[in-house]
Structure 1
Amino acid sequence: MNNTTINEENEAILNAIKDDLLVTDIHGVITKVTPAMKQLYGLHDDEELVGRSVYDLEQEGLFTPIVTPLVKKQEERVTLIQTTRENKKFLVTGVPVFNTKGKLWRVATYSHDVTELVNMKSYLEDMEGEMERVLHELTHLRSRHMQEHGFVAKSPEMKRCLEMAKQVADVDVNVLLLGESGVGKTQIAKMIHKESMRTEGPFIEVNCGAIPASLFEAELFGYEGGAFTGAQRQGKIGLAELAEGGTLFLDEIGELSLADQVKVLKFIQEKQFYRVGGRKMKSVDFRLISATNQKLDKMVEANTFREDLYFRLNVVPITIPPLRERSSDIIPLIHHFLQEFSKKHHRDISFDKNTLYLLSELEWKGNVRELMNMIERLIVTSSSRVITANDITIPRSPAAKKEMYDTFSKTLPDTLAEVEASIMQEAALNCRTTTEMAKWLGISQPSVVRKLKKYNIRS
């Protein structure tokens, strides 16, 4: 086969290739090109490319960047995204071609139109950014919404609790709120009511622990006139009847007597009842939320709480963590109550940093209620605009007093060193740099560095 036949065969093969294929010499001059190339790059049929330089074509804006110089430099396959003058995107691959002596001889490039893929990638990136923005906005709105209900929740534990309450709010299902006294069970019950489909209806709270057992039935179901000695002549509507169309909140339900538990069980099962001394069955439509600081499962085991009532109440249990288990909420709560009570009592009061630190370290056995009461007391009794640690009186248990006496058994330098080390450790946890620590502690940055080194604390 002679050279003419070989050239004709090569030309036929190139013309048969449907993809864009372009071959240049090592100087970037085009030696071969497929007909498909003109269509892909938007060229006219009469535009001749063979003999032209890809460098010139790039200058003219036909496409950019060019792959030839990169292949020439690296002498290996190179792939990049190329943009044409019609703003199309091509995935271009340049392949080095070596002669029999191993020298770079030609650069063959082939490309595929990936305009749609690139546009889709850009679109998806924009959508991800928009979704992230919307998610951030929703989180912000949810946080603001929770604050409107009187909640300050920075800790993951409390956020999960509030999210669960919000999730079940629009479902007419029995909810049992569990937690120690003062954690905010009543506030969460009110939030569930406000977020529910019954928000236009009443929220009726029944404190089961505050009503004597002898009066509970009459208070809950009401009574007819003359039903018992001392009853009102015209009778009385019970709290259950007042809850029509709304939410009935049975607080401290663990305090009910076994006899009253039977009546409550029948009532919440059938949503029907008789007034005391009455013979007419009354029906009421309500959503039930219960709360207790008792461990009802243990009470069931001890036969002091009915198992069937427990299961009826415990459809969706929500446990509210005590304040000591969500210490990251303490300082935000302090600021929240400070703002609330300063406005209420027309006082311009603030806390110094040492006071905030002291308050954040307390156990708060009375939970949020105890914290709220202390902040209000400090605001109304403070004689200065800045509340300091000297203004805080902390009741001490015998164990705490013993610990205090044990502390006094040490020398003053040892005691001061322990306190200083503790404060430096706290500053290291809350600050990112030694400069920030210095500002927070009110000392110089070199002093911070020396003290960190002295107590072997890593910043």
Structure 2
Amino acid sequence: MNRKRGAYMNSEWNENQWILHSLKDDLLVTDEKGIIVRIHEGTGNIYDVKAEKLLGKSVYELEKQGLFTPIVTPIVLETKKKITLVQTTKQGKQVLVTGIPVKDEKGEIKRIVSYSHDVTELMEMKTYLDAMEGEMQRVKSELMLLRNQNLSTEGIVCNSEKMQQVLRTAVHVSNVDVNILLLGQSGVGKTHLAKLIHNKSTRSKGPFIEVNCGAIPDHLFEAELFGYEAGAFTGASKNGKVGLVELADGGTLFLDEVGELSPAHQVKILKLIQEKQFYSVGGRKPKTVDFRLIAATNKDLEKAVAEKEFREDLYFRLSVVPITIPSLNERPEDIFPLLTHFAEQFEKKYNRKRTFDNAVIHALLAHEWKGNVRELINVIEHAVVVSSQTLITMEHLPHSLHRKKRIQDVEEHGKMKLNDALNELEKEILVKAKKQYKTTTEIGEALGISQPSVVRKLKKHSVF
């Protein structure tokens, strides 16, 4: 047996073999029976044995002895193509092995040439990175949970990105004493958001005074808003009355339904905002107030301005920072968390333990919530109150929800059975969630189910 340049072989190397061997210092060659016929000392070093001791040995026997596993030779013989795999050595090293078939003129495999690299450190690094990625995902989830808990302290519950962005904006501007205009359909939670902004602001210890501009009769508007002096008009209190604006001093003045202001009252509100001064009814001296202004409306004020129904200068004063709250139909991911949240509230309020039937849950998820969160709250309270048993079923829902438009469409077009309809609805919700969230963990958190359930349901509906 000769040794040249660290190579062990049964015969002398020719020039081609020298060249080939110089390219890789970890070569191992077997015949078609798995007998090692050539090996380099570098390969022996990888397996922590002397290379010459492996010559003439069967790779099958070496695997049985635990020197390395799995072996590449039988796989190359079976597939007749180049194969790469990761071996584990007796010492626990991770070795990347590539086996290449060498065929004769008849196409029969006569040799299997393999070369290997010790990738133990790379594999350990990969394991470490995988662990770090998992840890980062866990921390991210915990931070998201803490943030949601923090943002839910005012009764605002949300999982959808749209609503979370609204909350982030609201919290961000809360400490800046700037006028804010809350926009959105009736019942989306404008009052709740206004209170959150107040409570997160530097004025949180001051009063939060809400004025419903659409509920105060025109002839009482000034007296309610600005107060009045003793004997200011017939029927007035002899002691006079402090107005809502003065009560807001040092805190927040919330003008709800501001789009309902009459043209005359718009002028007075504009003057109040500009000067932070006002005259009470019957008063002769101006009063100065310090308040933070938040306004809200479900009207399209830009359209009202264009149609000369709302003063443009007042609109610009109100909407320094406009925040639009999406409707509940725009954020269906929030329906189930809201359902759970308010159900728990009413269970405590009425001392009744209640659970919702699956059909009820699906009906609530499918309903078109024209009244938004306010309508959802009413439906939940109704169901908790009227049910005489622990399980809330469809019969406990208001009549308007018994035959929802979506189920009517299913019945009219396909005569679909309830289970089929629910499956279609479940698939639709999963498809929407898959588009919005990056991982199955995030989808599970949004829908209120476990991550394995998400994976199982995605497979069930072939949502990839």
TM-score over 0.5 (shorter chain) = yes
Relative distance call for 1:302 and 1:11 in structure 2 (3 A) is closer
DSSP 3-state at the match of 2:28:
strand
Deviation sequence 1:414-436 (CA, Å, 0-9, x none)? xxxx999999644422259xxxx
Deviation sequence 1:214-268 (CA, Å, 0-9, x none)? 6656655668x77956588698475366352x54321111122334434434554
Instruction: Provide the rounded CA distance (Å) in 2 between the counterparts of 1:93 and 1:421.
Output: 58
Aligned to 2:214: 209
**1:295 correspondence with 2:287:** no
**Mean CA deviation greater in 367-376 or 112-121:** 367-376
**1:88 correspondence with 2:93:** yes
Aligned to 2:13: 7
Instruction: Provide the rounded CA distance (Å) in 1 between the counterparts of 2:181 and 2:27.
Output: 72
Aligned to 1:430: 422
DSSP 3-state at the match of 1:209:
coil
Counterpart pick for 2:277 among 261, 273, 279: 273
DSSP 3-state at the match of 1:164:
helix
2:155–2:192 Cα contact (<8 Å) kept: yes
Summarize the alignment of residues 378-457 of structure 1 with structure 2, pairs less than 5 Å apart: 384-385=388-389, 425-430=417-422
2:184–2:327 Cα contact (<8 Å) kept: yes
2:123 aligned partner, one-letter code: V
What displacement does 1:65 show? 1.7
Q: TM-score, normalised by structure 1?
A: 0.66
What displacement does 1:308 show? 2.7
Summarize the alignment of residues 69-84 of structure 1 with structure 2, pairs less than 5 Å apart: 69-84=74-89
What displacement does 1:186 show? 1.3
Instruction: Provide the rounded CA distance (Å) in 1 between the counterparts of 2:80 and 2:332.
Output: 62
Aligned to 2:261: 256
Instruction: Provide the rounded CA distance (Å) in 2 between the counterparts of 1:419 and 1:52.
Output: 73
What displacement does 1:175 show? 3.6
Q: TM-score, normalised by structure 2?
A: 0.65
Deviation sequence 1:4-30 (CA, Å, 0-9, x none)? 997364675466445421222223333
2:71 aligned partner, one-letter code: I
Aligned to 2:54: 49
**Mean CA deviation greater in 325-334 or 7-16:** 325-334
1:66–1:82 Cα contact (<8 Å) kept: yes
Relative distance call for 1:312 and 1:105 in structure 2 (3 A) is same
What displacement does 1:86 show? 3.6
What displacement does 1:35 show? 3.4
**1:284 correspondence with 2:290:** yes
1:169 aligned partner, one-letter code: V
Instruction: Provide the rounded CA distance (Å) in 2 between the counterparts of 1:18 and 1:313.
Output: 75
Relative distance call for 1:93 and 1:15 in structure 2 (3 A) is closer
Relative distance call for 1:327 and 1:32 in structure 2 (3 A) is closer
DSSP 3-state at the match of 2:111:
strand
2:31 aligned partner, one-letter code: D
**1:111 correspondence with 2:116:** yes
Counterpart pick for 2:103 among 73, 85, 98: 98
Relative distance call for 1:199 and 1:49 in structure 2 (3 A) is farther
Query: Larger radius of gyration, structure 1 or 2?
Result: 1
Summarize the alignment of residues 34-433 of structure 1 with structure 2, pairs less than 5 Å apart: 34-43=40-49, 48-100=53-105, 102-134=107-139, 149-151=154-156, 160-161=162-163, 163-171=165-173, 172=176, 174-195=179-200, 199-212=204-217, 216=221, 220=225, 236=242, 239=245, 242=248, 244=250, 246-265=251-270, 267-268=272-273, 272-274=276-278, 276=280, 277=283, 282=288, 284=290, 286=292, 288-314=293-319, 315-321=321-327, 339-346=344-351, 368-369=373-374, 372-373=377-378, 384-385=388-389, 425-430=417-422
Aligned to 1:445: none
What displacement does 1:327 show? 8.1
1:112 aligned partner, one-letter code: H
2:182–2:296 Cα contact (<8 Å) kept: yes
Instruction: Provide the rounded CA distance (Å) in 2 between the counterparts of 1:8 and 1:362.
Output: 81
**1:24 correspondence with 2:35:** no
Relative distance call for 1:304 and 1:114 in structure 2 (3 A) is same
5+ residue gaps, structure 2, are: 1-9, 401-409, 425-464
DSSP 3-state at the match of 2:54:
coil
Aligned to 1:410: none
Aligned to 1:33: 39
DSSP 3-state at the match of 2:74:
helix
1:213–1:256 Cα contact (<8 Å) kept: no
1:170–1:195 Cα contact (<8 Å) kept: no
Instruction: Provide the rounded CA distance (Å) in 1 between the counterparts of 2:216 and 2:131.
Output: 60
What displacement does 1:329 show? 7.1
2:309 aligned partner, one-letter code: T
Identity score, percent: 47
Relative distance call for 1:8 and 1:362 in structure 2 (3 A) is closer
Instruction: Provide the rounded CA distance (Å) in 1 between the counterparts of 2:325 and 2:139.
Output: 30
2:166–2:325 Cα contact (<8 Å) kept: no
1:222–1:237 Cα contact (<8 Å) kept: yes
What displacement does 1:163 show? 4.0
DSSP 3-state at the match of 1:7:
coil
5+ residue gaps, structure 1, are: 396-417, 433-459
